[in-house]
Each structure stands twice: as structure tokens, then as C-alpha cells.
Structure 1
């Protein structure tokens, strides 16, 4: 809860009590208050938008010694702030065509930090604390609920759009990989060693494909606590180069290796990637 000091008489008051203070103690005077935490001055209705201030830890932390406080995460405070954003959005939206009484009710709600987010508690709160008639409280709640549902729909639509973009990008990548694998090999210069020529010959001279899943699983299985992704890549690169009977891969071969490595790692059901660590799937 934000507290203010009246700059006219020096009396302190909670945010919801500021308006009442200027209707009684400092009646007839223009509102002129300062926040007790950040000491910022507010004139007129400016104080209404001041819903959150610095904490005690921030206020008294020694910044000169390089000490910075880490604020604890407060999920309830985040939800309450989102709720207040809805109230502010309604006041700024001309779509609702608010009557003077309803608009006045929303303006008062802006100055309260603990507006309930459930209908029954909301109506009870505004009835007891703000002396709002039950009929008007129901009207205000209906508008709040409408705006809340509209924001939820917008959020779901945005999540659906992002998901659709990811699926489309994955399908495009899979199509490109399939086309690349099905495309006939291009003719290369006799002087340039081709990957297919150096490829995948076993010690007895019989051509065979590099067994990606088996090699990946074999390396990871030897590490009970998992293996870092970069280390796994380097180990497999050595095996791949040995399989091609070359000491160092060409630039094209290296690119192809990296592409196949990423793809095969994603397809490996027996493995699990956790950040930079690769483990055997549990």
C-alpha cells in the first residue's frame, strides 16, 4: 500500500484516503502530496497513477558500495498489477461509453491497490469500502469482465499465431531436408574429393551409412550424468571423420555434419536435451 504525506498540513494518509482528506482536513485546497517512500511530489490527480513504489530494501540499500537488492518475485502482485491495467484500459477506451457515475467509480478504483478479482468479493469490497450501490457495482464488474475476456482472447490468438509460425517453419525445414536428400548428386571435379567418394566406406571396402542414432547413444550412455552438447559434437565429429577416412572435413562436409547432427539429435527418442546438457532419456 502506498502512503502519502499532505504537503499542506503534513498529515499522512493511505492512498484511498487522500481524496477524503482533501474533502475534510484540507477542504478547498488543491491536492498536493508526496510519496512517503520515494518522496516524489504529486499535484491534482497525478497521485492516482502511483500504484507501486520502491521497497524498503531498495530505499536503504547502499548504492555507493555497489550493493543492489534483488526483489522477490510476487506472483500475486503481478496479477494485481495486470488487474489494474484492465481498469486503466477501460478508462482510456471510448468503446464503453461510460456514464459519469460509472467513470467516477473506475477513477476511484485506480487509487486502490487491493481490488478483488472475484465477483462476489469485488461487489462486497466496493459496497463496504467505497459505498458503491449494488446495482452500480454489478455494472462495473460486467465491464471489467468484458475487458478481461477480451484481453484473454487476444492473448490466446497471439499464442496461436506464434505456434502456427513455429509449425510452418518446422514443416518448411523438413521439406527442404527431404528435397536435399532426394536431389541427385551434382557432378564434381575429379581433382576435388567428393564426400560420396570418400564416404562411408568400412575397413573391408564395403560402402555403409554412418549410424547416427547408435553413435550418439553410445557416446551419451558412457556419461551417466550427461555430456555437454559441444563435447558430444566434438566426439561424434571425430568418429564421423574417421568413418569418411579423412583427417579434417571440408567446409561443405562440416556444414553437412552440423546439419545432420542437429537433426539426428532432435529425432533421437532415447536422448534428452536439457539446455546445454544431453542425457539418456528417463
Structure 2
């Protein structure tokens, strides 16, 4: 709790008792106090905003030696500070349309450090210490509770948003990692396809080359038929031209021979008579 020294009479006064002090002992005098810890002077109602001050450990710590005392963590003080934030938020808001009496009550609450945070205790406290009527105390509490619920909802929304952003960030990271791994696989698949096509071409087999149609075309031009070896040479030239090569490799040639024999047997439009190939009658 903050303590002040009255600069008029020199008496030490707790913050909640400053108002009473200037209504009794220093009545009629302008408020003029100084904080006992930080020695700062306050005039009029300035002292109301002075809620927390430095501790004695901080005050007497040797700053010249680079030492700063660690402020002890006080959970109750943190809760009380949050409570004070709610009161200040209400005073700064235009939402509640505070009457002069209610606004005055909230302003008085700012000068009190130990405001209860439960309804029954709060109403008893403001009734006994601040002489606030019961109906006004209930009205003040309802406003406090409404603002508190708003802050809780806002905090929950912030937490939910932060959680959603964290999940989205993780998913994005996982997606990026998956995409980094995907291209090599895709490339490998393409390369495998190209290798298969190359192997097919190297084997003398091509899905674009119509064996039966080409065989039939060559034989049709010969009314009396064509010798098989001559047919083989003619088709070999057409096939080499199809592959855009001048001469087939040894391996391609062997595969071509096998393919030629197979396709010749499968061609229903052709008839093989010994070494002679002609159109089937």
C-alpha cells in the first residue's frame, strides 16, 4: 500500500485516508502530499493515480554497482492491479452513461488499494468504508461485473486466436516441408517415365508407330506381293525415320526383328505364303 506524507502538517497518511485527512485535520487546505517511498510530490487529486511505488529493496539498492533488486512477485497485487484497470476502463468508457453519483463512486474506488473482488464483500466494504448506499453499491458492482466479463471474453478470444494462428503456422510449416520433399519424388516419377519411354524406344517398340498399318501399306503397293526380306528392309527404314535416327543400334535391330515377326503374324489383312507376303484374299 502507498503511504503519503502531508506537506502541510507532516503527518503520515495511508492512501485511502488522504481524503478523510483533508476533511478533518487539514480541512480547508489544498491537498499537497508526497510519497514516502519515491518522494514525489502530488497536488490536488494527482495522488489518486499513484497506485504502486518502488519497494524498499529497489530504493536502497546500489545502482552504481549495477545491482537492481528483483521485485518480489505478489499475485494479490497483480489481481488488484487488474481490478484497478477495470475501474479505469469504466471511467474512460462512454458505454455505461455513468451518473455523476456513480462516476464519483468509481473515482473514489481508484484511491483504494484493497477493493474486494466478491459481490457480498464489495457491497459491505463500500457501504462501511465509503458510506455508499446499498442500491448504489449494487449498481456499481453490476457495472464492474459486466466490464469484467467483457475483459474475460476478450482474453479468451485472444487466446483462441493465438491458438488458431499457432495451429495454422504448424500446418503451413508441415505443408512447406511436404512440398520440399514432393519435387524430388515428382522428378523421379517423370524421370522414370522418360526412362521407360527411352527403354521402349530402345527396344524398337513405340506406341506411336502403327506396325500393322505400315506393313499393310507397303504390301498393298505390290499387286503380286512382296518378299519378306524386302518388306523387312522397307519397314526398317520407315521405323528408323520414325525414331529420327539414320541407323538402329544392334540392340534396337534385334528388338525390331522380333517385333516385325510378331506383328506380321498378328496382321489379319496380310497373308504369308512361304517367303512372299501379300494381301489376304
Class of the TM-score when normalised by the shorter of the 2 chains: 0.5 to 0.7
For 2:14 and 2:75, how far apart are their aligned partners in 1? 23
Q: Which residue of 1 aligns with 2:56?
A: 56
180 and 63 in structure 1: CA distance in 2 versus 1, 3 angstrom threshold: closer
Larger radius of gyration: 2
Residue 98 of structure 1 pairs with residue 105 of structure 2:
no
* Partner-residue secondary structure (3-state), 1:24: coil
**Range moving further from structure 2, 3-12 or 105-114:** 3-12
Any residues of structure 2 matched to 1:201-216 within 5 Å, and which? none
Any residues of structure 2 matched to 1:56-95 within 5 Å, and which? 56-95=56-95
Q: Which residue of 2 aligns with 1:38?
A: 38
* Partner-residue secondary structure (3-state), 1:4: strand
Aligned residues, how many?
A: 188
**Range moving further from structure 2, 129-138 or 179-188:** 179-188
For 2:109 and 2:14, how far apart are their aligned partners in 1? 14
Any residues of structure 2 matched to 1:82-161 within 5 Å, and which? 82-161=82-161
* Partner-residue secondary structure (3-state), 1:34: strand
60 and 178 in structure 1: CA distance in 2 versus 1, 3 angstrom threshold: closer
* Partner-residue secondary structure (3-state), 2:45: helix
Task: Provide the alpha-carbon RMSD of the alignment.
Answer: 1.7
For 2:16 and 2:185, how far apart are their aligned partners in 1? 76
* Partner-residue secondary structure (3-state), 2:160: helix
For 1:167 and 1:89, how far apart are their aligned partners in 2? 32
TM-score in terms of structure 1 length? 0.63
For residue 11 of structure 1, report the CA deviation from its aligned partner: 1.7
Task: Return 5+ residue gaps in structure 2 as ranges.
Answer: 189-281
TM-score in terms of structure 2 length? 0.63
Runs of 4+ more than 3 Å apart:
184-188
* Partner-residue secondary structure (3-state), 2:163: helix
For residue 187 of structure 1, report the CA deviation from its aligned partner: 7.2
59 and 180 in structure 1: CA distance in 2 versus 1, 3 angstrom threshold: closer
For residue 13 of structure 1, report the CA deviation from its aligned partner: 1.1
* Partner-residue secondary structure (3-state), 1:156: helix
Q: Which residue of 2 aligns with 1:204?
A: none
For residue 85 of structure 1, report the CA deviation from its aligned partner: 0.6
Task: Return 5+ residue gaps in structure 1 as ranges.
Answer: 189-282
* Partner-residue secondary structure (3-state), 1:96: coil
For 2:179 and 2:70, how far apart are their aligned partners in 1? 51
For residue 97 of structure 1, report the CA deviation from its aligned partner: 0.7
For residue 186 of structure 1, report the CA deviation from its aligned partner: 8.0
